[in-house]
């Protein structure tokens, strides 16, 4: 036993991981006793009495690491998820602006750097634009009288290799978009309201009210035949409806009226007012009063106006020419 020395380790060394209470250890092996470090930062630790090994006091960094806090979450768009430990996190997430996957029709990829596979915005394919968090088909700038096609283009010429939807009768100008009307009536002799006088209250006139007005009339039942006829029109897989008052007012002047009829002629359609009766009244979706609705009244002599028409009139001069927005 001459070569064996005893080391009494008291509570002052209780931070050494393998020695947590007073004990007698018959060894001079520092590593066995828990002294495993070659040095401690700033000398914050206990040196082995038998050599140059140290048992270091735990640091915030080491404690946090042992508990799984290892992520800085400082990459593009990242924020820490949950509580932090010494500035580190167990998990990272992305801030709320990184929410777009940027894939599918109309998308060409993400804009900028991704965060967990998501982007703050997307790049759009040709013919699409980034709007309200999505790549949507661009709204072309089309002049009144131009022919509009199913591929979201417009032209002054009839293009036989494309599907014609109609003629532009309302334009939003440089911002793009507007309304297109069929070049032929889809029906004639159809009443606005086939029943007795009934006040619907559906009097909105702006262009944007065209389809909402039509849907409200459809919801009131089959008696509103013109609205139902327009709503059931499905050419080009588009939403069609009766034009609101202001859409018809857009061509209630000599210049625009002539442009529209010229476009209809190029398309091989029936010019406004050129029905066999020599007169045409195009129904709108805007009610005028309990007995009348708004309509574009055209004579083949060249005179025209937007006026009020008896709702229950079903003579051959009244027509349904639905419109769709682009």
Q: Which of 323, 252, 242, 249 has the alpha carbon at shortest distance from 286? A: 242
Rounded average pLDDT over 288-306: 96
Are 244 and 211 a contacting pair, CB within 8 Å? Answer: no
pLDDT above 60: residue 2: no
Higher pLDDT, 29 or 105: 105
Q: Up-side HSE of residue 157: CA atoms within 13 Å toward CB?
A: 3
pLDDT above 50: residue 21: no
User: Which residue reads 């591929």 in tokens?
Assistant: 151
pLDDT tens digits along 157-215: 999 999 999 999 999 998 899 999 999 999 999 999 998 789 999 999 999 999 999 99
pLDDT above 90: residue 144: yes
d(CA 250, CA 178): 11
> Left (φ > 0), alpha (ψ -120 to 50) or beta: where does 15 sit?
alpha
- Which of 16-30, 139-153, 186-200, 258-272 bottoms out in mean pLDDT, i.e. has the lowest? 16-30
Read out DSSP for 22-71?
-EEE----TTTTT--BS--GGG-EEE-TTSS-EEEPP-HHHHHHHTT--B
Torsion angle of C-alpha atoms 251, 257, 262, 265, degrees rounded to 10: 80
Q: What is the pLDDT of residue 26?
A: 67
Rounded average pLDDT over 114-125: 92
pLDDT tens digits along 71-100: 788 777 777 777 878 878 887 878 889 999
What does the mean pLDDT of the chain come to? 87
Greatest mean pLDDT among 11-25, 39-53, 180-194 lies in: 180-194
Q: What is the pLDDT of residue 57?
A: 73
Q: What is the pLDDT of residue 25?
A: 53
d(CA 223, CA 15): 89
pLDDT above 70: residue 218: yes
pLDDT above 60: residue 297: yes
């Amino acid at each position: 036993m001459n070569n064996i020395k005893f080391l009494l380790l008291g509570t002052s060394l209780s931070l050494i991981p393998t020695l947590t209470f007073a004990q007698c250890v018959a060894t001079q092996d520092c590593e066995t006793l828990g002294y495993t470090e070659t040095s401690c930062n700033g000398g914050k630790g206990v040196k082995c009495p038998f050599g140059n090994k140290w048992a270091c006091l735990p640091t915030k960094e080491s404690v946090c690491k042992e508990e799984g806090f290892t992520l800085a979450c400082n990459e593009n768009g990242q924020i820490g998820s949950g509580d932090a430990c010494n500035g580190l996190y167990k998990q990272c997430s992305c801030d709320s602006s990184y929410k777009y996957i940027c894939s599918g029709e109309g998308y060409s990829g993400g804009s900028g750097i991704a965060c967990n596979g998501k982007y703050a915005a997307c790049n759009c394919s040709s013919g699409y634009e980034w709007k309200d968090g999505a790549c949507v088909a661009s709204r072309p700038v089309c002049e009144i009288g131009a022919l509009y096609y199913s591929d979201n283009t417009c032209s002054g010429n009839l293009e036989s290799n494309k599907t014609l939807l109609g003629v532009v009768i309302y334009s939003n100008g440089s911002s793009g978009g507007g309304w297109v009307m069929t070049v032929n009536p889809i029906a004639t002799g159809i009443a606005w309201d086939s029943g007795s006088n009934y006040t619907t209250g559906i009097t909105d006139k702006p262009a944007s009210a065209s389809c909402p007005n039509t849907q409200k009339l459809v919801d009131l039942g089959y008696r509103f035949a013109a609205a139902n006829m327009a709503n059931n029109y499905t050419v080009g897989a588009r939403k069609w409806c009766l034009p609101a008052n202001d859409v018809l007012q857009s061509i209630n002047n000599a210049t625009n009226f002539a442009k529209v009829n010229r476009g209809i002629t190029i398309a091989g359609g029936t010019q406004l007012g050129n029905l066999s009766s020599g007169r045409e009244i195009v129904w709108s979706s805007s009610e005028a009063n309990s007995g009348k609705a708004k309509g574009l009244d055209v004579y083949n002599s060249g005179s025209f106006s937007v006026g009020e028409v008896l709702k229950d009139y079903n003579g051959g001069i009244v027509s349904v020419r639905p419109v769709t927005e682009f």
